[in-house]
């Protein structure tokens, strides 16, 4: 199969997963905001398909889900999540693709940096959007929303994503890459 067609097909699958996985949190916003089900397919898309596809899927998923199902609410939640998830897909995919080695250590490094970058972007966009509506995003609300309330989801991501990537490596579908040794 053509590599580009395979990548586009996988990206479409990750997009579909991003639309469907939140239904498994029972449509209870408090649980969904803790388990972050839309984030997992975006991270995997960035890692497997590349940063361009990860960024596109990340941007589209929350907006499309908002339009199709009314959750998350479009303003400001889905809009700020679109930039957050776009950042996740872009950063994890870019950092992983330029890593000298693609292994568990590199995977965790890329995941953690992408998580931090995405949360910072979410905070900036959320502050701008709330400012436009005459409200403010305090540091206390940012820290609670971006980190404290998200701890269960972060833990799930830090366990599930590496498990999936190791399984894909073992099957040979998405092998880890090692740096080539220099010949002297």
- pLDDT at position 26 is 64
Tell me, rounded to whole angstroms, the distance of Cα 135 from its chain centroid: 27
- pLDDT at position 89 is 98
| Residue 143 or residue 184, greater confidence | 143
Average pLDDT estimate for 105-124: 97
* Residue 181: band (very low, low, confident or very high) from pLDDT cuts 50, 70, 90: low
Question: Taking the domains of the chain in order of start, what are their residue ranges?
Answer: 13-21+28-171
Question: Which of 115, 65, 45, 48 has its CA nearest to residue 87?
Answer: 115
- Span 13-21+28-171 CATH architecture: Orthogonal Bundle (1.10)
Whether omega for the bond prior to residue 180 falls within 30 degrees of 0, making it cis, is no
| Residue 56 or residue 184, greater confidence | 56
* Residue 179: band (very low, low, confident or very high) from pLDDT cuts 50, 70, 90: low
- In SS3 terms, 21-68 reads as HHHHHCCCHHHHHHHCCCHHHHHHHHHHHCHHHHHHHHHHHHHHHHHH
With 50 as the cut, is the pLDDT of residue 182 above it?
Answer: no
With 90 as the cut, is the pLDDT of residue 33 above it?
Answer: no
Question: Which of 13, 8, 19 has its CA nearest to residue 60?
Answer: 19
Tell me, rounded to whole angstroms, the distance of Cα 150 from its chain centroid: 13
- Whole-number mean pLDDT of the chain? 92
Report DSSP state, residue 5: H
């Amino acid at each position: 199969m053509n590599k580009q067609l395979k990548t586009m097909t996988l990206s479409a699958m990750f997009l579909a997963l991003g639309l469907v996985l939140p239904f498994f949190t029972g449509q209870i916003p408090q649980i969904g905001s803790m388990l972050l089900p839309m984030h997992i397919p975006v991270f995997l898309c960035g890692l497997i398909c590349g940063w361009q596809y990860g960024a596109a899927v990340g941007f589209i998923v929350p907006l499309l889900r908002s339009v199709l199902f009314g959750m998350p609410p479009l303003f400001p939640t889905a809009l700020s999540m679109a930039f957050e998830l776009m950042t996740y897909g872009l950063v994890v995919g870019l950092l992983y693709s330029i890593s000298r080695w693609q292994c568990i250590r590199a995977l965790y490094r890329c995941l953690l940096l992408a998580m931090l970058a995405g949360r910072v972007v979410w905070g900036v966009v959320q502050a701008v959007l709330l400012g436009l509506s005459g409200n403010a995003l305090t540091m206390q609300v940012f820290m609670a929303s971006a980190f404290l309330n998200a701890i269960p989801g972060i833990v799930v991501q830090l366990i599930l994503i590496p498990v999936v990537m190791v399984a894909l490596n073992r099957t040979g579908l998405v092998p880890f890459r090692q740096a080539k040794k220099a010949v002297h």
